[in-house]
Amino acid sequence: MTIRDIPVRTLSDESTTLGELAGDKALLVVNVASKCGLTPQYTGLVELQQTYGPRGFSVVGVPCNQFMGQEPGTAEEIEQFCSTTYGVDFPLLEKSEVNGEGRHPLYRELVRTTDAEGEAGDIQWNFEKFLVDRDGKVVGRFRPRTEPKDPAVVSAIESVL
C-alpha cells in the first residue's frame, strides 16, 4: 500500500483515494487555509498546476483549521473562495487535521518525511508541501514559507515528471 491508496474525501464529500483522484500523476499535497498570511501562495500553486498539469502533475489542497483558526469556512465557502479569488482548478480534499490525535491518516504518513534540514514530524503551519512521485513515494517536503515557485520546489517537481 502506498500513500496513493489511503482513503480520503473530497471537498464535495466524495470518498476516494489520491490514486483515484489524480491517476498516475505526481502530486504536491499542501495543507491550505483561506485567512492566513501565506494564503497568497495559492497563486503559485495555481501556476504550478497550469505549468506542470499537462505533464502529469497535480496540486492537491487539504484545507486545515488547526493553525489559529485560519480556515473557518464550510466546504462551500472554501470552494467559493478558492475558485473566485485564486482560480483554483486543482482538487481540494475535505477540511482535515494535520497534527495531533485527530491527524488524518494521509498526514500520519506524510509527516514521516524529512525536509531539507533532515527534520520530520508535525506540520509547522499552513502551506507545508509534500511531493509524491507517480509510484506513491513521498520524495520531498517543503516548509510553509517555501514559495511554490521556489527553485527547489520546481526542480523537485521536474525530477518526478
| Residue appearing with cell numbers 523537485 | 156
Amino acid (one-letter) located at 116: A
Gap between the Cα atoms of 127 and 53, Å rounded? 19
Catalytic site residue 36? Answer: yes
CA 148-149-152 angle, to 5 degrees, is: 90
Q: All 3 cell numbers of residue 138?
A: 513521498
Gap between the Cα atoms of 139 and 38, Å rounded? 23
Helix (H) or strand (E) run with residue 78 in it: helix 75-81
- What does DSSP assign to residue 119? -
Q: All 3 cell numbers of residue 22?
A: 489524480
Gap between the Cα atoms of 112 and 161, Å rounded? 23
Q: Which of 6, 36, 138, 156 is catalytic?
A: 36
In this structure, are residues 144 and 126 in contact, taking their beta carbons and an 8 Å threshold? yes
Task: List the catalytic residues.
Answer: 36
